């Protein structure tokens, strides 16, 4: 096998020739190409999740060294409706392994599902939409390579993630007595089969939909449905003791395997069979589908004529569906965290292990600490939406649509500033939605120490942080669209500094380098300085982006 690369018009085409014949000829070269193309995305998924697993159990042991110190925590977590909704029921008696698979395990399952869905849709359907699969077939690759290799790659990545989780937890059994080897690999196996089945679901969605966006949307709907079924299964199990509904949702398989409690490896084998069956159904659908076609109706265009009044009006029409989706997500997250605020006084009793743990992440009274952390989570979702909206301009440029807009008489400066304004408006709307829902929900659970007013003010006063995030993203997009991905470093660092900065003894100046967590308080004199600095950073970023965008080549 050899690969020959040639460059024309700025694009690199790899010619694959192989001595092997058949449906899988050239699979090794294509696998290597995919690994090179997505090596950064793969690392961005695997490394943080491995680090999370590595720090969770030692952190639990440091704060709750014995079962006695966890008694209040376990009782409150089992009573809290919001916590049960998010994670399910805490297994008794509450050993470290059970806590880990309950909280961190739930997070890992969702993140693994997201990784499997996003990567599968990207390498399987988006490459086809962009014409890369046609180029691949023209190089002599076998007819099964465009489907088998991407799916196999994602399954291998899920297996690698799971193996890393199992390896880290097995190594920690040497120093943490409450962890077991069987529990470690039962949890790793649960993560693996969950990722595999969602990758298979995404593969099916890639055949059903006509574009990558439609495939991603279908897959996300299935993930949301799996979460709803898991919550329903918890209610049925609590009332009747029956677990039959858990079999219908991959997010409920963890409660059937019961890592660190029963370690049912036979259940893992059955779940693996389900994942393989779903993947085989995707193979059948792929074999009967025309290239660039799908089984569902085409919703990518409409015969209705729009009366568009300028570029900003066009952006609004194209963005409103996404805004509604983010608003619903913000509403759900605010409802969830507001519903658990009632248990805060019992959890954060002065001198308790939980109070000392939270004290490392936030300052002030227990209510102030809790509301501060709660609003950081809700505003984090807004920051993701804002940066994504700003980076959308880089995607439009790569797709050649910006040149079409410029040809219609829209100036470069107007294109960039309209995108900035759209991101700002979206941020304001989402902050108001989150603040209103969070305050209303908190009012039904907790009214002490200005909890309701703080829920609202802590949220909306973080708007300058969103301005800073948008400004940084605008500067990167203005300089070069390939730099747009660096804006996610800002969001990631901000989340790390707020949630883990105190735990790792991060310097105060480093924690302040965050677009999250800086807000006004309803008690005492307001501190405007951090907000003014954030607004200034955002304004400077917008100016840099505007100056660069109006001068550089398009596309760059």
- What pLDDT, in 10s, does the model give residues 276-289? 999 999 999 999 88
The tokens describing 521, both together, are: 């308080």
Residue scoring higher pLDDT (291 or 545):
545
How does residue 302 score in pLDDT terms, banded at 50, 70 and 90? low
Q: Is 554 part of a structural domain of the chain?
A: yes
- In this structure, the answer to whether residues 369 and 270 fall within a common structural domain is no
Which of 195, 202, 200 shows the shortest CA–CA distance to 125?
Answer: 202
Residue scoring higher pLDDT (228 or 20):
228
C-beta separation of 180 from 201 below 8 A: no
Checking if the pLDDT of 17 tops 60, the result is no
Domain boundary among 296, 323, 341: 296
Q: Is 9 part of a structural domain of the chain?
A: no
- In this structure, the answer to whether residues 325 and 263 fall within a common structural domain is no
- In this structure, the answer to whether residues 339 and 467 fall within a common structural domain is yes
Range 393-422 burial, b when 16+ CB lie within 10 A, else e: bbebbeeeebeebeeeebebeebbbbbbeb
> Which residues constitute the domain of residue 428?
307-556
Q: Is 37 part of a structural domain of the chain?
A: yes
Q: What angle do CA 82, 86, 91 make, to 5 degrees?
A: 95
pLDDT of residue 355: 56
Q: Is 17 part of a structural domain of the chain?
A: no
Is the backbone peptide bond immediately before 555 cis, with ω within 30 degrees of 0? yes
* Helix and strand numbers, DSSP H then E, in the chain: 23, 2
The tokens describing 260, both together, are: 């660190």
Domain boundary among 239, 271, 296: 296
Cα–Cα dist 516/493, whole Å: 10
Cα–Cα dist 463/490, whole Å: 16
Give the mean pLDDT of 498-515.
79
Give, for 302, the enclosing helix (H) or strand (E): none
Give the mean pLDDT of 102-109.
91
Domain count, the chain: 2
pLDDT of residue 19: 44
- DSSP sequence for 317-351: HHHHHHHHHHHHHHHHHHHHHHHTGGGHHHHT-TT
The tokens describing 365, both together, are: 């009274």
- In this structure, the answer to whether residues 258 and 323 fall within a common structural domain is no
DSSP 125: I
The tokens describing 74, both together, are: 């376990």
Q: What angle do CA 525, 528, 530 make, to 5 degrees?
A: 130
Checking if the pLDDT of 139 tops 80, the result is yes
How does residue 21 score in pLDDT terms, banded at 50, 70 and 90? low
Q: How many whole angstroms from its chain centre is CA 419? A: 23
The tokens describing 109, both together, are: 């399952």
- In this structure, the answer to whether residues 292 and 346 fall within a common structural domain is no
- In this structure, the answer to whether residues 220 and 320 fall within a common structural domain is no
Q: Is 1 part of a structural domain of the chain?
A: no
Q: Is 205 strand, coil or helix?
A: helix
- In this structure, the answer to whether residues 292 and 426 fall within a common structural domain is no
Domain boundary among 296, 328, 345: 296
Range 473-496 burial, b when 16+ CB lie within 10 A, else e: bbbbbbbbbeebeebeebbebbbb
Q: Is 371 part of a structural domain of the chain?
A: yes
pLDDT above 70 coverage of the chain, percent? 89
**Backbone conformation region of residue 295, classed left if phi is above 0, alpha if psi is from -120 to 50, else beta:** alpha
Give, for 12, the enclosing helix (H) or strand (E): strand 11-17
Cα–Cα dist 92/106, whole Å: 17
pLDDT of residue 1: 40
Q: Is 273 part of a structural domain of the chain?
A: yes
How does residue 4 score in pLDDT terms, banded at 50, 70 and 90? very low
- In this structure, the answer to whether residues 259 and 358 fall within a common structural domain is no
Q: Is 14 part of a structural domain of the chain?
A: no
- In this structure, the answer to whether residues 172 and 315 fall within a common structural domain is no
- In this structure, the answer to whether residues 354 and 480 fall within a common structural domain is yes
- In this structure, the answer to whether residues 291 and 181 fall within a common structural domain is yes
Checking if the pLDDT of 428 tops 90, the result is yes
How does residue 350 score in pLDDT terms, banded at 50, 70 and 90? low
141-145, 250-254, 340-344: range with lowest mean pLDDT: 340-344
Cα–Cα dist 355/347, whole Å: 7
The tokens describing 482, both together, are: 């390939």
How does residue 36 score in pLDDT terms, banded at 50, 70 and 90? very high
C-beta separation of 189 from 268 below 8 A: yes
Which stretches of 173-211 are DSSP H helices?
181-208
Checking if the pLDDT of 486 tops 80, the result is yes
pLDDT above 90 coverage of the chain, percent? 47
Give, for 371, the enclosing helix (H) or strand (E): helix 366-398
Checking if the pLDDT of 248 tops 50, the result is yes
Which of 542, 532, 529 shows the shortest CA–CA distance to 423?
Answer: 542
Count the Cβ atoms, other than its own, within 10 Å of residue 231: 16
- In this structure, the answer to whether residues 292 and 423 fall within a common structural domain is no
């Amino acid at each position: 096998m050899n690969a020959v690369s040639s460059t024309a018009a700025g694009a690199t085409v790899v010619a694959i020739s192989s001595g092997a014949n058949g449906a899988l000829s050239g699979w090794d070269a294509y696998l290597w190409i995919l690994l090179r193309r997505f090596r950064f995305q793969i690392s961005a998924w695997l490394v943080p999740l491995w680090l999370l697993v590595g720090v969770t159990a030692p952190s639990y042991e440091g704060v709750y060294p014995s079962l006695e110190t966890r008694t209040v925590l376990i009782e409150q977590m089992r009573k809290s409706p919001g916590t049960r909704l998010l994670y399910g029921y805490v297994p008794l008696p509450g050993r470290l392994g059970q806590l880990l698979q309950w909280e961190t395990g739930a997070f890992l399952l969702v993140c693994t599902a997201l990784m499997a869905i996003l990567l599968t849709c990207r390498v399987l359907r988006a490459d086809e939409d962009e014409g890369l699969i046609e180029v691949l077939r023209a190089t002599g690759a076998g007819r099964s390579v465009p489907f088998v290799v991407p799916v196999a790659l994602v399954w291998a990545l899920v297996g690698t993630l799971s193996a890393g989780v199992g390896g880290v937890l097995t190594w920690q059994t040497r120093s943490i007595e409450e962890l077991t080897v069987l529990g470690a690999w039962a949890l790793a196996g649960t993560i693996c089969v969950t990722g595999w089945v969602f990758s298979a679901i995404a593969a099916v969605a890639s055949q059903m939909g006509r574009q990558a966006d439609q495939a991603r949307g279908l897959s996300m709907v299935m993930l949301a449905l799996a979460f709803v079924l898991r919550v329903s299964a918890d209610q049925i199990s609590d009332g009747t003791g029956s677990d039959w509904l858990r079999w219908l949702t991959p997010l409920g398989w963890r409660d059937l395997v019961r890592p660190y409690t029963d370690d049912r490896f036979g259940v893992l084998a059955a779940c693996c069979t389900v994942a393989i069956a779903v993947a085989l159904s995707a193979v059948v659908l792929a074999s009967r589908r025309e290239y660039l076609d799908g089984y569902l109706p085409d919703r990518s265009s409409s015969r209705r004529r729009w009366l568009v009044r300028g570029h900003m009006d066009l952006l609004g029409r194209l963005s409103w569906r996404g805004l509604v989706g983010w608003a619903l997500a913000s509403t759900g997250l605010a409802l969830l965290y507001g519903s658990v605020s009632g248990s805060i006084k019992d959890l954060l009793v002065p001198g308790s292990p939980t109070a000392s743990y939270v004290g490392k992440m936030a300052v002030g009274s227990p209510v102030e600490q809790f509301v501060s952390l709660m609003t950081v989570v809700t505003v984090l979702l807004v920051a993701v939406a804002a940066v994504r909206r700003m980076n959308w301009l880089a995607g439009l440029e790569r797709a050649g649509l910006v040149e079409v807009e410029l040809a219609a008489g829209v100036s470069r400066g107007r294109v960039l500033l309209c995108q900035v304004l759209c991101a700002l408006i979206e941020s304001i709307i989402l902050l108001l939605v989150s603040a209103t829902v969070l305050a209303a929900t908190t009012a039904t659970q907790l009214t002490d120490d200005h909890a309701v007013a703080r829920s609202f003010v802590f949220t909306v006063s973080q708007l300058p942080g969103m301005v800073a995030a948008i400004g940084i993203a605008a500067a990167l997009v203005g300089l070069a669209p390939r730099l747009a991905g660096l804006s996610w470093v800002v969001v990631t660092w901000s989340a790390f500094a707020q949630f883990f900065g105190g735990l790792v003894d991060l310097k105060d100046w480093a924690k302040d380098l965050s677009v999250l967590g800086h807000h006004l308080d309803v008690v005492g004199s307001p501190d405007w300085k951090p907000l003014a600095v954030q607004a200034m950073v955002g304004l400077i970023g917008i100016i840099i982006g505007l100056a660069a965008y109006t001068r550089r080549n398009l596309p760059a």
